[in-house]
A = this chain, B = another copy of it.
């Protein structure tokens, strides 16, 4: 079986991406990051999903993006709530160069385990307008990756797979349900309560809620009561 490195954040998209890679016949090597995010519920969710989907190996690598700051997700700036989401304004939840850094680590691990396939659950439909979620970025990263590595120089092409890039959140959820994912294991909220309950009003909660509504599937998320 061919090996694939799959970036697994613990949210709906990366869980679905992981299930798709597995369904396509890859041995899945899941990669998560402790990057100085405000809470650790993402990592707990990633661990649950990795177990749920029986991946071959799951690594959680510590990287300190708080060293630079520049985002409400890695500093003490407030996460915006009930924002009118649009694709032209990039919100303060944007973490500078985050996907570039994540994909670079995935590329490193892929080269070490002799995998030529990396999966990332970026999505350019129901998203917060982050530049590093767009197809142009991914294709440029892939081109760079094939010039960066020993494998690339030796003619072995690495592919960055983005199976969700053109799907809406509801389509992603429907796809995941068809592959047997238990979405109650996933975590999306940027600003959960100390007990890990979702706030219900950050971009990530708003997009998630709308996704379940449009898919006609009951939302398994535990929200805190917040009137």
Contacts and interface: CB of A to CB of B under 8 A. Distances in A.
Interface of A: 59, 61-65, 67-70, 90, 94-101, 104-105, 107-109, 111-112, 131-132, 134, 136-137, 140-141, 143-145, 147-150, 152-153
Contact of A64 (B61, B150, B153): B61
A141 to B, nearest CB: 5
A147 to B, nearest CB: 4
Contact of A140 (B98, B104, B109, B147): B147
Nearest to A75: B112
Q: How many copies of this chain sit in the oligomeric assembly? A: 2
A150 B94 CA distance: 8
A111 B99 CA distance: 14
Given A131-B148, A140-B140, A140-B144, A107 B112 contact: no
Given A101-B101, A107-B97, A112 B68 contact: yes
A65 B147 contact: no
